[in-house]
Amino acid sequence: MVLLLMTGTATMTVSADERCHSAAKTELEALYCDVVAEGGGGGLPSQPDFNRNDPQVQALLLKRPAQRLGLTVPEPGQPRPPSAASMNLPADVDNESLEPAQPANPLASAGLANCELAGELIRCPQADYDLAANQGRSSLPDGVLGPDNRLQIEPFTGDRSDDEAVRRYLSNAYDQYIPGMLRIGLGANTMSFTAFHNAFHTLEEGGVDFSDRMAQTYQLLKQDRQQLGVKARYHEDLPDNLSLCGMINRDIIVCDNVRINWIYVRNDG
């Protein structure tokens, strides 16, 4: 889960509105188009960046501008009624063939050979790990939402065409991102490694420094945490098996099926 910020405002014309709605696949993505069309999109990311966010983050982004316009924010995860027109595709196109190839998570199954997945608990010989939920603002340590808590990822200085170098860089960056999200109480709002990987390439190819954007995003999430509440969880889904999981350090296990990310945190009690 990451908030991908825009570098310019959307052009609010009829044709732009139609293009926006044709690319919207969920009720939240359609609401984004309505907010922009009504002139409330000045603080929102571009549509491609908005659509890459997790539904929970999309709802968080839309909450205030939608309220100002008197629009209702739907529950995250509600799809739009599918149609060829809404997807801007010929009726005979197989939608499943449009799914992008996803990079394998390099963390998968790492260090979990002797562990057992039991729903919201992972039992390992060294410790148990509990599924992380979002925390209320009052539960956060003092100062964690202040300016001194930053997400400081080193800029990428290698060749983006070197897949192995990119994978090493992003694996290290992800190891910083996940604890950073836990610090501000957003353990149930993290993005998968695949989404992290895709965000890196999208931003860097657009001339935007990935590390700078992640730092900016983190600051904005902290600001939102000071003003907006969050649900503990937005769905009841759980990982199917430990092949979807890997340890990023002794305290944190990450599981994902590309679509959903789960964080399990060591319980030393």
**DSSP codes, 123-187:** E-SS-EEEEP-B--GGGSPTTTTSTT----PPPP-S-TT-HHHHHHHHHHHHHHHHHHHHHTTBT
133 and 78, same domain (yes or no):
no
- What pTM was estimated for this model as a whole? 0.63
For residues 38 and 250, the answer to whether their CB atoms sit within 8 Å is: no
Bridge partners (DSSP) listed for residue 207: none
Say yes or no to pLDDT of 3 above 60: no
Does residue 105 belong to any structural domain of this protein? no
Q: Containing domain of residue 11, as a range? A: 1-90
Residue 250 in tokens: 């002794």
Judge whether 1 and 190 are in contact, CB under 8 Å: yes
124 and 26 in one domain? no
| pLDDT greater than 60 at residue 2 | no
Asked, for residue 106, whether it belongs to a domain, the answer is: no
Least Cα distance to 250 among 111, 107, 105 occurs for 111
CB 186 within 8 A of CB 131: no
Number of compact structural domains in the chain: 2
Lowest mean pLDDT among 26-40, 94-108, 128-142, 193-207: 94-108
- 158 and 256 fall within a common domain: yes
Co-location of 145 and 210 in the same domain:
yes
| Contact assessment for residue 183 and residue 144, using Cβ atoms and an 8 Å cutoff | yes
* % the chain with pLDDT above 90: 40
Q: Residue 95 falls within a domain, yes or no?
A: no
* Average pLDDT score over the chain: 80
Q: Give domain status of residue 111, yes or no.
A: no
Say which residue, 152 or 89, is predicted with more confidence: 152
